[in-house]
Amino acid sequence: MERIVKSGTGWRIGWNPEAAKFKGLVGGDDWAFELTEAELNDFCRLLAQLAGTMSHMASELMDEEKIACEAESDLLWMEVEGYPHAYSLHFIINSDRQCEGTWPASAVPGLLQAIQVLQVF
């Protein structure tokens, strides 16, 4: 397997199976964090879970209603906030280093599509 880096407007995500410790990468236009394989697995799994929750909530909310949903693992915490069709994403890494990042609603669809291509988790 070779190194993969996907990016779009406002987001980046990557996978390097040859890296010793930090095999994953997530970032925005002007920031990035390296992640361990376990952190990247959790990131992808929790993001997919939150996206599914937001999609399911679309029929429960009025058009002007916003919602916030959280998910977490032992390694990280994530939150999506906004409308079921347009929401921002915020995450905090809770392992041996403290990092956090946020993507605007405009970046989340591309990031969601990219995690499906990585197929790490």
pLDDT tens for each residue of 56-91? 888 887 778 899 999 999 999 999 999 988 999 999
| Order of strands, sheet of 67-72, starting from the edge strand that comes earlier in the sequence | 67-72, 76-83, 86-94, 98-103
What pLDDT, on the 0 to 100 scale, is given for residue 52?
94
Contacts of 65 (CB under 8 A, 6+ apart): 83
Structure tokens at 4: 């993969």
How confident is residue 121, by pLDDT bands cut at 50, 70 and 90?
very low
Provide the 3-class DSSP secondary structure of residue 44: helix
Say how far apart CA 60 and CA 82 lie, in whole Å. 14
pLDDT at 47: 96
pLDDT tens digits for range 83-114: 988 999 999 999 888 899 999 999 999 999 99
Give the model's pLDDT for residue 63.
79
- pLDDT for the residue 119: 63
Domains for the chain: give ranges and CATH numbers.
Answer: 4-118 (2.30.31.10)
How confident is the prediction for the chain on average, in pLDDT? 91
> Exposed, middle or buried by CB within 10 Å (0-12, 13-18, 19+), for 63?
exposed
Res. 1 pLDDT band, cuts 50 70 90? low
Under DSSP, is residue 52 helix (H, G, I), strand (E, B) or coil? helix
pLDDT digits (tens, 9 = 90+) for 19-32: 999 999 999 999 99
